[in-house]
């Protein structure tokens, strides 16, 4: 009942793609056939039937701001599931899928349930993949970081955080930090130091000459270092005008749903089913 409610909430929210985890497979073949009838957007390139056929769509494609985006799913081998399913090693399937997509997708995104160490290997050895969004239960929030030519990130599980990844992307370019975010932060720090200098001047008559000179020298030195760092970033930004840029936000959310009448209704219905089950068990 819980799995059905969660998938219906995902459909209501408007997800474009959801990777299948090894633990998801414990829901069984019948459950997944029902969700596929509802056109739930599962993606997995390495889950096969006993007959050797792909059970899920290996990837989806979507046009966003003029770019053709491909989203591939990979499933970890953890979890228990029916003999009907076979989860193959990512090395046996990923390269073929990338070969299919590399000439028709401007960006390839991988949704991966593999262990974090394996995701880093993929990031460094499969250059056609531009972004990996990981779902390793042993890792918590992981701010976006570049490995090879790939951007890797993940958010903490169980719906406790929402990740927002903002990209400036051009096919063939390398990833660089979002300089606008970094320079804004430096501007704020410089403004803070300026305010501290102003406050120090207002207290001038309350301080000894030695203490005043010491504090002012420290603040001026800090301001100088920040200003030099700001100038360096401005130069790097002008030297790399076509670089791909990114910034990631990890947003904690409250456990209650709130904001969607449909999702609130589904949760209420689920609670009623659980209560009925407990009464009759």
In the predicted model, is pLDDT for residue 16 greater than 80? Answer: yes
Q: Which residue has the higher pLDDT, 59 or 245?
A: 59
In the predicted model, is pLDDT for residue 189 greater than 50? Answer: yes
pLDDT in tens, 240-253: 656 787 777 766 65
CATH number for 2-167+249-280: choose from 1.10.606.20, 3.60.21.10, 1.10.3720.10, 3.40.1350.10. Answer: 3.60.21.10
Mean pLDDT of the chain: 84
In the predicted model, is pLDDT for residue 42 greater than 70? Answer: yes
Q: Left, alpha or beta for 6 (phi > 0: left; psi -120 to 50: alpha)?
A: alpha
- Mean pLDDT calculated for residue range 9-16: 82
Instruction: In whole angstroms, give the CA distance from residue 137 to residue 144.
Output: 17
Banded model confidence at residue 192, pLDDT cuts 50, 70, 90: very high
Range in 100-104, 166-170, 208-212 the model is least confident about: 166-170
- Mean pLDDT calculated for residue range 72-96: 91
Strand-pair partners of 246: 167, 177
Instruction: In whole angstroms, give the CA distance from residue 111 to residue 32.
Output: 18
- What is the per-residue pLDDT for 257? 45
In the predicted model, is pLDDT for residue 5 greater than 90? Answer: no
169 to each of 38, 74, 190, how far by Cα in Å? 33, 23, 30
Domain boundaries, the chain: 2-167+249-280, 179-239
Check residue 157 and report its DSSP letter.
T
- Mean pLDDT calculated for residue range 34-54: 92
4's CB contacts (< 8 A; 6+ apart) are: 31, 34
What do you get for the CA distance between the two ends of the chain, in Å? 16
In the predicted model, is pLDDT for residue 157 greater than 80? Answer: no
């Amino acid at each position: 009942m819980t799995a059905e409610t969660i998938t219906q909430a995902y459909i209501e929210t408007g997800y474009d793609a959801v990777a299948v985890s090894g633990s998801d497979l414990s829901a069984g073949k019948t459950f997944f056939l029902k969700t596929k009838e509802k056109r739930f957007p599962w993606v997995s390139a390495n889950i096969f039937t006993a007959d050797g056929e792909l059970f899920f769509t290996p990837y989806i494609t979507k046009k966003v701001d003029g770019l053709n985006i491909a989203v591939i799913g990979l499933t970890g081998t953890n979890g228990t599931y029916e003999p009907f399913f076979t989860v193959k090693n990512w090395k046996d399937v990923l390269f073929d899928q990338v070969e299919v997509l590399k000439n028709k997708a401007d960006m390839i995104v991988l949704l991966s349930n593999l262990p974090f160490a394996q995701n880093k290997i993929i990031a460094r050895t499969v250059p056609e993949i531009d972004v990996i969004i990981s779902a390793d239960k042993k890792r918590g929030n992981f701010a976006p970081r570049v490995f090879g030519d790939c951007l890797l990130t993940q958010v903490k599980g169980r719906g406790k955080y929402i990740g927002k990844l903002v990209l400036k992307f051009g096919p063939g370019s390398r990833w660089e930090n979002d300089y606008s975010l970094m320079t804004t932060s430096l501007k704020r720090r410089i403004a803070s130091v300026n305010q501290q200098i102003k406050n120090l001047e207002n207290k001038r008559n309350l301080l000894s000459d030695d203490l005043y000179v010491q504090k002012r020298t420290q603040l001026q030195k800090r301001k100088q270092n920040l200003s030099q760092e700001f100038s360096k970033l401005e130069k790097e930004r002008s030297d790399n005008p076509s670089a791909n840029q990114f910034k990631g936000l990890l947003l904690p959310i409250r456990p209650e749903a709130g904001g969607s009448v449909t999702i609130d209704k589904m949760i209420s219905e689920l609670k009623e089913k659980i209560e009925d089950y407990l009464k009759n068990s």
